[in-house]
Amino acid sequence: MDDWIYYILIAVIVVNAWALLRKYFGKNIMEGLENNEDINPAPLKNVPDIINGHQEAINLNLSNNRGHYEKTLIGMDKLMGSKILHTLKTHAHMMAKDPESPEAQKKMNAIHTMTKFRGSLNDTMKWMDAN
């Protein structure tokens, strides 16, 4: 019985040693970044072209649809502003009474998320104006 446990212990140690060696010496380091062996990374000089290729696949056609995009962003901004104000109006008493209650926290998180989304809409409008 003791020999059996001894062999299992040796097997566990060998497997762990092999895993550690593979972890620290089995990966290629390229341009200061760790790369998995499963991933075939592109050379750094090709990355901008690859990114532009993905952007072209989106095909926003800003030149023909700029007005529609602007109206969409402005409409969403107005909607989020209205929803924030409505949520405050509807739940302000409950939030003021016990701001630490789960329901108050839920409403405050919703307001915070809508506010962050409005910021994202604004950033998108700035990006669109720059292009």
**What is the reported pLDDT for 45?**
76
* Domain-wise residue ranges, the chain: 2-53, 64-130
Q: Give 88 or 16, the one with higher predicted confidence.
A: 88
Query: Is residue 10 helix, strand or coil?
Result: helix
On the question of pLDDT at 12 being above 90, the answer is: no
What stretches of 1-131 adopt beta strand conformation (E)? 28-30, 33-35
For the segment 33-84, what is each residue's pLDDT rounded down to a tens digit? Answer: 555 555 556 677 777 777 777 666 667 777 788 888 899 999 999 999 999 9
Confidence of residue 14 (pLDDT cuts 50, 70, 90): confident
One-letter amino acid at 25 equals F
On the question of pLDDT at 4 being above 80, the answer is: no
The whole model's pTM is what?
Answer: 0.57
> How far is 69 from 3, CA to CA, in rounded Å?
74
